[in-house]
Structure 1
């Protein structure tokens, strides 16, 4: 029972950090609507979070302190990728003609996971949230079982969120049956990507 508090704290902390609409979440939502490679994508995102959270709880957040240039380097790389990906979604929104088809043309699993990897590992905010914030909060708990429970709770939140987002997206399938709905979604995703890219370039 004493481990429940750190586990719930870890779960709530992690969930609060990934709930915000971001590039990664928008991509998972889109693939969930397409019902294409959903399991592989959700598993990849959750496992990436699990690895980063584990590193943060283990105390490797000091890496960014030792290499102060690292967050900026990731920020520039991530911004470049987001600008290009946003442009692709903007072009799709402009051209239209897309329809929701289960298992439709959404790219190979390699292409999907490659995009997910870029959206995840080139985003410096991911490192700040996991290695920095979650790692810092974990120090409130004594090393050992309590800190492990905190980390497991944080990892569990990530798994719950991504699989709920990926598979829950299909509930929106009836509304996405029209090409216009896809044009609006792609336009929204493009705007989100460019806003995040601007924040990264401005150091926000």
Structure 2
């Protein structure tokens, strides 16, 4: 007897039984068709922990009487917190309106009419976004004009490293959205 309340992928187990429309599902809202991976969440958690130490330092510095130094520490903590939150927002988002690829510093949105195809292919991919490349799978988008755009997600990025089945589910979900709205 599986303990579904203890598993992280219980909704995927329930989805395997059959697609049931959810009462709160709003197709107008931008949604990520997968969960953020452990590497991404871990980096964000470490950044937030670092920000808490910097804020503690700002408190000590302010109590010592150096308000400009405390202000600098608060500014550093604010940038660290914003970086952690933004890193959690990075990824692919879909809605009825189109496909959105959110990077750390930029966001690209394509209407479904501009999308020619979304598919998975074998190619060299970056390991955790670092310069080192390994052979892996990548989800790529082709525009209606035939141009191949930048890789959306890979099985070696911070969302899917070591989570092959999760990458397959995410790629299938994005491809299904593209097929549905083509």
Same fold (TM over 0.5): no
Structure possessing the higher relative contact order (Cα contacts under 8 Å, 6 or more residues apart): 1
TM-score (norm 1): 0.26
Point out the structure with the larger helix share.
1
